[in-house]
Amino acid sequence: MPVLVMKFGGTSVANIDRIRRAAKRVGVEVAKGYDVIVIVSAMSGKTNELVNWVGEISPLYDAREYDAVVSSGENVTAGLMALTLQEMDVPARSWQGWQVPLKTNSSHSSARIEDIPPENITAKFTEGMRVAVVAGFQGISPEGRITTLGRGGSDTTAVAFAAAFNAERCDIYTDVDGVYTTDPRIASKARKLDRIAFEEMLELASLGAKVLQTRSVELAMRYNVKLRVLSSFEEQSDEAGTLVCAEEEIMESNVVSGIAYSRDEAKMTLVSVADRPGIAAAIFGPLSEAGINVDMIVQNISEEGRTDMTFSCPTDQVKRAEKALLAAKDAGQINYHDLIADTDVAKVSAVGIGMRSQSGVAAKMFKTLSDEGVNIKVIATSEIKISVLIDRKYMELAVQALHDAFELDKSA
């Protein structure tokens, strides 16, 4: 029988009532003839509570015990979901990650999936089981310890199962009804997209549209898993939500598909560093060792052998970045006159695969911002994305103006 993967996030299994509602949706797909693999998150708020408990006992916790504790929320919902389905006369069984087994590496709290042998679950399907309810977010290390996949990791569990079982589709049930052209809380004209390409979704996911864990989209793209994001609070239908799929499956799309933003960016400038080979490596080496997520980088033209180097990173990493750079300066690895941190900036990006074949997107973006009197501080581009750093107080305005300028309220 064809396999369907259905993943229910924390708000969709937040209490017994909602678990029943989710189970009903599963029942509908079973009745259509699918063998279903259900991936569940912990009840909303549960994982945070567990994480806090660990931190309360032991600030420098043993990562193996952290995983043993924080993975447990999913065990509860998996069992409850299986019971609920059984009550509806749907043959169902729950599986914890290690029972499948979902094999990962040993990177506790951010483990990577290495293998999901399908035999055990397939054998049960053959015997008549119709639904395998699997606890998301967790696996087992080569040492036989429980691991977790990082916060939001049950999305990745779901996609990995869809790939391993060659599922027809992977439906991600959440509390929003799909992926939008931008945040509807900022631009009231934001429109739900029917389809979006994997690469666009990756850009939007990593730019702060927190619908899907970034790794799940990477995985879906690699294995060409059709991924659908939809709300568990709306009526069930085959067309609901947003389909994240390969570019080829999207007939027409706007040049720009979405406007993303990230509120908590900081701009850091090293004033007057020597302009010579190796200087960028000397600056960004220590930053990377300190775990700083450097995003945009700009080097100014040099004057008399010296230049300014500007980069952006998340606001909460500024202190750490300063420390790393100061240490490199003290060690004589780099030399700069001043280090200026501007923490009042935000990043706004236009994303769309259409940019590959159409020119003029950057020009239109800059003109729009200039018409609004918004000053651009840093620009960075990739094949399908243009990002700018601007003063944070203009972020909403910029998002709205760009959404209007690219007519994202209208479909192609």
Site for ligand ASP in 238-257 (CB under 6 A): none
**Residue of 137, 261, 336, 406 interacting with ligand ASP (CB under 6 A):** 137
Backbone torsions φ then ψ of 319, nearest 5 degrees:
-60, -45
- The yes or no reply on residue 27 touching Mg ion (CB under 5 A) is no
User: 174: annotated binding-site residue?
Assistant: yes
User: 47: annotated binding-site residue?
Assistant: yes
Interface segment toward ligand ASP; rule CB under 6 A; list 52-60, 87-95, 151-159, 357-365: 151-159
User: 175: annotated binding-site residue?
Assistant: yes
Which of Mg ion, ligand ASP, none sits in contact with 354, Cβ below 5 to 8 A by type? Answer: none
Q: Are 70 and 38 in contact (CB under 8 A)?
A: no
Shortest spacing between CB 196 and ligand ASP, in angstroms: 20
Which of Mg ion, ligand ASP, none sits in contact with 71, Cβ below 5 to 8 A by type? Answer: none
Angle, CA of 84, 85 and 88, to the nearest 5°: 95
Nearer to Mg ion (CB atom), residue 162 or residue 250:
162
Nearest position to Mg ion, beta carbon? 152
**Residue of 153, 258, 352, 354 interacting with ligand ASP (CB under 6 A):** 153
User: 244: annotated binding-site residue?
Assistant: no
Backbone torsions φ then ψ of 380, nearest 5 degrees:
-140, 145
Q: Please tell me the count of residues contacting ligand ASP according to CB under 6 A.
A: 13
- What does the buried/exposed string (b/e) look like for 309-322 if buried means 16 or more CB atoms within 10 Å of the residue's CB? bbbbbbbebbeebe
Q: From CA 106, how far away is CA 124, in angstroms rounded?
A: 28
Site for Mg ion in 123-152 (CB under 5 A): 152
- The yes or no reply on residue 41 touching ligand ASP (CB under 6 A) is yes
H-helix or E-strand spanning residue 48? helix 46-57
User: What tokens were used for 2?
Assistant: 């064809």
Residue with the two structure tokens 């990082």: 150
Interface segment toward Mg ion; rule CB under 5 A; list 8-16, 45-53, 56-64, 159-167: 8-16
User: 185: annotated binding-site residue?
Assistant: yes
Nearer to ligand ASP (CB atom), residue 153 or residue 178:
153
**Residue of 30, 38, 42, 212 interacting with ligand ASP (CB under 6 A):** 42
E strand residue ranges, 212-320: 227-231, 242-245, 258-274, 297-299, 306-314
CA distance between the termini of the chain = 37
- The yes or no reply on residue 154 touching ligand ASP (CB under 6 A) is yes
- The yes or no reply on residue 14 touching ligand ASP (CB under 6 A) is no
Interface segment toward ligand ASP; rule CB under 6 A; list 82-90, 149-157, 169-177, 335-343: 149-157
Nearer to ligand ASP (CB atom), residue 70 or residue 250:
70
Interface segment toward ligand ASP; rule CB under 6 A; list 147-155, 167-175, 204-212, 366-374: 147-155
User: 336: annotated binding-site residue?
Assistant: no
User: What tokens were used for 82?
Assistant: 């299986």
Q: From CA 70, how far away is CA 14, in angstroms rounded?
A: 16
- The yes or no reply on residue 76 touching ligand ASP (CB under 6 A) is no
How far is CA 337 from its chain centroid? 38
Q: Are 244 and 220 in contact (CB under 8 A)?
A: yes
User: 97: annotated binding-site residue?
Assistant: no
Burial class for 69, CB neighbours closer than 10 Å (0-12, 13-18, 19+): middle
Residue 331 neighbours by CB distance under 10 Å: 10
Question: What radius of gyration do the chain's Cα atoms show?
Answer: 24
Enter the DSSP assignment of 111.
-
Residues binding ligand ASP (CB under 6 A): 9-10, 41-42, 47, 73, 136-137, 151-155
- Binding site for ATP: what residues are annotated? 7-10, 174-175, 180, 185, 210-211
**Which residues of the shown chain bind Mg ion in the complex (CB under 5 A)?**
9, 152
